[in-house]
Amino acid sequence: MQVGRPKTTTIAVDVETSLKIERLCKMYEIQKKDFCRLAVDYFLRTGIDPKSNDTEQNMSEIRESLAQMQKTIAEERTERSLERQERVLDRKNTELATKQNETNFKMLQGLIQDTATAIGIIQQAAQEQQRLIEAQNQTIDEVKEQTRPTYTKRTWYGAKKTYYKDNDEEVQ
C-alpha cells in the first residue's frame, strides 16, 4: 500500500459518453476527475434528479419559483427599512421551509438571497442617483446666479452701477 496518495477509483462508461466527457473537459480545460467531481457537486447543490427527463416538471418548478420571486420582489420594494426586509425574508424562508418539495425550497432560498442583494444594489444606485441630482441642481443654481440678467445705470456723479433686472438689487 502506498502512503500519501489519495484513494481513487475507476468509472466505466461507454465510448460515446467518454468522447463527450473528453470534449467537455477540453472545452473547459479541466481533467476528467474534476469534471466528475463538479458534476456530482452540481446535482447535489441544485437537487436536480439526473435520471429525470421531465423538463415540463422542471419548467413548472421554475415558473413557480419565478412567480414566488416576483411576489417577493414586489413586497420588498414596499418595505423601507432593512429590519422590515429581514422580517419578510424570514417569513418567506419559513413558508418555504414548510413545503414538501426540498428542491423547490433550495432554489427559492437562493433566489430570495439574490433578490435581497439586488435590492441592496438598487438602493445604492438610487442613493448615488439622488446625490448626482443634488449636485446637478446645485450646478444649475450656480449657473443661474452667474447668468442672471443685469442692467447698468450711471449715478449723478458719473459712476457706473450694475443692478439685477428681477429685483433692482445692486450686483456686488
69 and 141 belong to one structural domain: yes
Contact 50, 36 (CB under 8 A): no
**What is residue 15's predicted lDDT score, i.e. its pLDDT?**
95
Q: What is the extent of the structural domain holding 146? A: 51-172
Whether 133 is in a domain gets the answer yes
Element (H, E) at 21: helix 15-28
71 and 144 belong to one structural domain: yes
86 and 123 belong to one structural domain: yes
116 and 154 belong to one structural domain: yes
Element (H, E) at 134: helix 102-146
Whether 3 is in a domain gets the answer no
61 and 134 belong to one structural domain: yes
Whether 1 is in a domain gets the answer no
**What is residue 20's predicted lDDT score, i.e. its pLDDT?**
93
Whether 140 is in a domain gets the answer yes
Q: How many structural domains are present in the chain?
A: 2
Give CA–CA dist 104/93, Å, rounded: 12
pTM: 0.32
172 and 114 belong to one structural domain: yes
35 and 117 belong to one structural domain: no
**What is residue 55's predicted lDDT score, i.e. its pLDDT?**
61
pLDDT tens, per residue, the chain with 172 residues: 556 677 888 889 999 999 999 998 999 899 999 999 998 987 787 776 777 766 666 667 667 777 887 777 666 666 555 666 677 777 777 776 665 556 666 777 788 888 888 888 888 888 988 988 998 888 888 887 777 777 777 777 878 887 777 777 777 7
